[in-house]
Structure 1
């Protein structure tokens, strides 16, 4: 098997996995968009397909027949270079094209990509296919968390799947891991795939610090709530305090107090909160306030990366204290793919690690996720530092 054959297999495996995520859905679920940050499942299915059509098939497959001329307008996300697109908040208004048509579109593009790679194999195509695969994997994570938000805001709180596990409870005691001061190298350092925002490996100086071995649990977070954490302005940034009061925030997303007992919506339906499980669906504002309450702080992304070999990670995206900025020597790619990361490097915080929604073969110690400080529909948690 050649390297290209292996990558095509990876591509096909990825395409199947996206559709498997949607299998538990009812047809009515495919078009719902409760908030601007959440895209309908049908749109994810189409957008990940458009990516391959736009960046691989159109420019590189001579004689390729475009499935539908309107789909570039419908399924482009934010690529100004490519052309006009549906406004993000209007994705939920796309009752057409039908779900059946979108699945036909997926089949059309998948088969065309397979056919292209049987006759044409260049490094440029290899690189485009690889980034397309990982782009779809990013959307698999978003698709799953968007589905959770859609169902979690349905008054019936329906079950998505009884087989999806949102957390595994660990019983190891919380410990402080001591890290020496010194010079540490940060950034991607192998020939394996990474995004451009991980490149520009560089050295940073870190003062001595300690980082917690475990994520903060639901029980620890309940203690914060019961201690009046959401009512103590001195724990919060001014912007975070405004956010709490304007939105009447009093607990993590999906939490409901029923007869004095905390429950949370999960993909298995409404469940009692598991005390030992890591807390999730909290904003950066909440993570910061909790750390303040504990007399601690959040780790920087550089501290996290330097220390990550000393603890297990991957259950929750972990908020850091670092602004999302380019590394030294960062160079934005030319053309449309240059819009992938660089233009978002403002007004966001970095998250590290991955989560239970992150697909396999898609995270690594240098992976940099990023979101605005108020967002919490992803599986976001926190680890303390001091």
Structure 2
């Protein structure tokens, strides 16, 4: 009989920390110290920063007699919290040869031991504010688990021989859908999106609020590599009229001609993955697109990107948050689009596989207020110049996302597992 007892917060903390360790177990020391571009952080830095978060926001204030591991780490591993103090430049994280990886691992062990003591204290279980901080810390570390994967992928992609980060697992085969996408229609009207309570959520997911949507339709699957190759072959990267002005400038300046990691192989198109160089699966979702590329493809298709509220309405029709997420023994790359099981099956690939660009600027919901103190810098101060993505990816941890979850990146970002689903007015 299945054990239905709730998992203790101490056990969940231990599980999340162990999951981080498992992600890096096959990486070498040299892999974990490289920074291949300003947006990428070395694996070693992620391991230290997630540890710094627990030390800074919980241990220093909540565990009597806690001994700080190193006074220098508050400067080296603060990411962007002005309320905490000065910090090392993000673009120079790869220059930090010290502390060594071994010392970072010792730092993790020091903090983990202290956290295990803290989470056993009676007053922790009874303090809602502290419990909320613990939940935030768990979600924060899961976000960095995904960043570890996307960042090491970019690092290894710069190697001339395209080495694999992980061995290629054997995934169970599926019957792939290589046909055109279908459309699922929605009536629109007054809709309620966002969330107010219940299980943990980030502050940018609320408050719950109402808005009016005109009738719309969402594609029943993600855009595939096959779809996107047709866009390329039709001159998509050479047709200025398809692109937003800033996007066309990026195409010209950066020489974009295909998604990041697409390469020409001797036997046909290939793609660099966390499992090394592989043949391009035309039935799999296209990923590593910027917002500009997603927008241009939608324009070429005679469609558009969805509003994030439309996406959430569509996602809320799903009974469960299931999909291809990060999991031991599973490929760390999107999988082929599954066939419909039956007529009217609705939206597919809603969660996992690829983050879906929306046309919605990342901005606060009505009545949104950031939390007080340094922790309030987590989301609110980034609500400018970025676009919302929804749904999670093959690098996202299971159980991390939900219909209201809002990811966000600047429109030129390509190194995440970002793809798209088409939308249209009806």
What's the TM-score, normalizing by structure 2? 0.88
TM-superposition CA deviations, 1:267-305 (whole Å, max 9, x none): 111011001001000100000000111111000000101
What's the CA shift for 1:124?
2.2
Deviation (angstroms), 1:210:
1.1
Residue 365 (structure 1) aligned to one of 385, 403, 409: 403
CA distance in 1 between partners of 2:13 and 2:96 (Å): 27
5+ residue gaps, structure 2, are 318-345
Q: Which residues in structure 2 correspond to 1:245-256 (within 5 Å)?
A: 245-256=252-263
Matched, 1:48 2:50: yes
Q: What is the RMSD of the two structures over their aligned residues, measured on CA atoms?
A: 1.9
1:144 equivalent among 129, 132, 149: 149
- CA deviations 1:101-136 (Å, max 9, x no partner) are 001100110110110122242222211111111100
Partner residue, 1:186: 193
Q: CA deviation at 1:258?
A: 2.6
Aligned counterpart for 1:154 among listed residues 137, 147, 159: 159
Q: Please state how far the C-alpha of 1:181 moved relative to its aligned partner.
A: 2.6
1:319 aligns with 2:383: no
Query: Cα distance 1:42–1:171, how it changes in 2: closer, same or farther (>3 A)?
Result: same
Aligned residue in 2 for 1:293: 300
Is the CA contact 2:308–2:390 (under 8 Å) kept in the aligned structure 1? yes
Question: How much has 1:167 moved relative to structure 2?
Answer: 11
The one-character-per-residue Cα deviations of 1:75-104 (angstroms, maximum 9, x if unpaired) are 100000001111001100011101010011
Deviations 1:231-253, CA, capped at 9 Å, x for gaps: 00000011100000000000000
Partner of 1:233: 240
> Retained in 2: the 8 A contact 1:166–1:266?
no
CA contact (8 A) 2:196 2:207 kept: no
CA distance in 2, matches of 1:259, 1:279: 21
Q: Does 1:330 align with 2:330?
A: no
Q: Tell whether the 8 Å contact from 1:170 to 1:277 is kept in structure 2 after alignment.
A: no
Contact preservation (8 Å) 1:264, 1:271:
yes
Q: Report the Cα distance in structure 2 between the residues aligned to 1:144 and 1:380, rounded to whole angstroms.
A: 14
Mapped partners of 2:173, 2:379: distance in 1:
32
| TM-superposed deviation, 1:262 | 1.1
Q: CA deviation at 1:361?
A: 1.5
Partners of 1:167 and 1:50 lie apart in 2 by: 39
The question of whether the paired residues in 2 share the 8 Å contact of 1:166 and 1:356 is answered with: no
- 8 A Cα contact 1:167 1:278, kept in partner: no
Unaligned runs of 5+ in 1: none
* Number of equivalenced pairs: 386
Q: 2:412 aligns with which of 357, 374, 377?
A: 374
User: For residues 342 and 213 of structure 1, do their structure 2 counterparts lie closer, same or farther at Cα, with a shift above 3 Å needed?
Assistant: same
CA contact (8 A) 1:211 1:383 kept: yes
Q: 1:244 to 1:164 in 2, by over 3 A?
A: farther
Query: Normalization by structure 1: what TM-score?
Result: 0.96
Aligned mates of 1:332, 1:369 — CA distance in 2: 16
Secondary structure of 1:263's partner?
strand
**Whole-Å Cα distance in 2 between the matches of residues 335 and 164 of structure 1?**
44
SS at match of 2:212: strand
- Contact 1:167-1:315 at 8 Å conserved across structures: no
Contact 1:186 1:305 in 2 (8 A): yes
1:22 to 24, 34, 39: 24
1:133 is aligned to 2:171:
no
Which of 91, 94, 102 is the matching residue for 1:92?
Answer: 94
CA distance in structure 2 between the partners assigned to 1:103 and 1:186 by the alignment: 41
